[in-house]
Amino acid sequence: MSAADPTILMMSWDEAPMLRHSLPRAMAQDGARVVVIDNACADDSAAVIAEHGAQRLHLPERLSYAAAVNRALGGIDGDAVLLLNADCFLEPGFLAAAMDRLGHPGVGSVAPRLLRTLGPEPGQRLDAIDAAGMVVDRRRKNGLVGHGRPGLAHDRPAPAFGADGAAALYRRETLADCALDGEVLDEDIERWASDVDLAWRARTLGWECVYEPRAVAYHVRTYSPSTRAHMPAHDRRMQFRNRYLMMVKNDTPGALARDLPRLAAYELGQLAYVLAVERELLGGYRDAARLAGAARRRRRALRGRRPATPAPLGLEPAA
């Protein structure tokens, strides 16, 4: 796979101030075609895109993150796609390093070294890891590997469960393999954890993800363990619900049986917490039940592709 093949697919949700900094950094990556999704933006996103000469995909009505990305993926080509948020700022050589790792046999995606920043200016950067890939533990809770550790931690390539959606490089063949009902990202999941679901699906189908520390970017983290308390109830309920949808679609009977005592204890503790502290999350159980039928249908379609490979829950890159 050559460095001339990738497409960088960015999204703007009225994020022109971030795009002014992140778009030129994306355009500077050697050999990349850059496409920006203008998700019915009412700000200056269109002008910023035109100023830097990127391709603009204008959506006249605002869609969910998953639906907007799916719409865009249907109209681009190339052997690899970097899904990139507007609040993620690539360092020079990011794409070359990530593409080099993606070229290895069996590798379907690459997780870069994301470092924390409070904003787009160099003076706002923090000496801390934002994410060195993602992990799903045996309670089926997803998390960010290395979040908050010193910036020089996780300095070796290693297998990873998946790549955080802020900057995730995928082989186009992997995305096509993962598509269900014509959707690469599950539109029922909408946004939060759609990257985790895609990574889980890819691993189930036998694709590997590798963490590549030479691919460096700075990211403004909106939803993390340190910011969750300040997120709107709707977003917290969506993330809560989506964990169950991912389990219905991606888990295996053997893995569930193995982890049943751990899961049961966690679920009881979680229910007690929701009843005592975050009663607004109770609607997440109802939402998950409402969407479970579609998740089961996608599960059957996924299992029909090829014999499932149980994803190694708990897999983290070496520190």
Domains of the chain: 6-219 (3.90.550.10), 229-303 (no CATH)
Q: Are 155 and 140 in contact (CB under 8 A)?
A: no
- Name the percent of the chain lying above pLDDT 70: 92
Which regions of the chain does DSSP assign to beta strands (E)?
6-12, 33-39, 55-59, 80-85, 88-90, 107-117, 125-131, 134-136, 142-144, 158-160, 167-171, 208-219
Rg (CA), the chain: 19
Angle at 170 between CA 169 and CA 176, to 5 degrees: 160
Residue 312 scores a pLDDT above 80: no
Closest CA to 188 of 243, 230, 245, 263: 245
- pLDDT at site 2: 44
C-alpha 163: how far from its chain's center? 6
Residue 280 scores a pLDDT above 70: yes
Distance CA 20, CA 216 (A): 19
- pLDDT at site 299: 87
- pLDDT at site 227: 67
DSSP tag of 86: T
Burial of 33 from C-beta contacts in 10 A (0-12 / 13-18 / 19+):
middle
Closest CA to 64 of 170, 183, 163: 183
Q: Are 132 and 209 in contact (CB under 8 A)?
A: no
Residue 222 scores a pLDDT above 90: no
Which amino acid would we find at residue 25? R
Q: Are 105 and 94 in contact (CB under 8 A)?
A: no
The overall average pLDDT reported for the chain is: 89
- For the segment 62-66, the average pLDDT, to the nearest whole number, is 93
- For the segment 98-121, the average pLDDT, to the nearest whole number, is 94
Residue 79 scores a pLDDT above 70: yes
Q: How confident is the model at residue 1 (pLDDT cuts 50, 70, 90)?
A: very low
Residue 109 tokens read as 């995606």
Q: How confident is the model at residue 313 (pLDDT cuts 50, 70, 90)?
A: low
For residue 227, give every residue at least 6 positions away whose Cβ sits within 8 Å of its Cβ, in sequence order, or none: 221
Residue 209 tokens read as 């993800």
For residue 310, give every residue at least 6 positions away whose Cβ sits within 8 Å of its Cβ, in sequence order, or none: 204, 252, 254, 255
- For the segment 9-32, the average pLDDT, to the nearest whole number, is 93
Angle at 107 between CA 105 and CA 111, to 5 degrees: 145
User: How many CB atoms within 10 Å of residue 267?
Assistant: 13
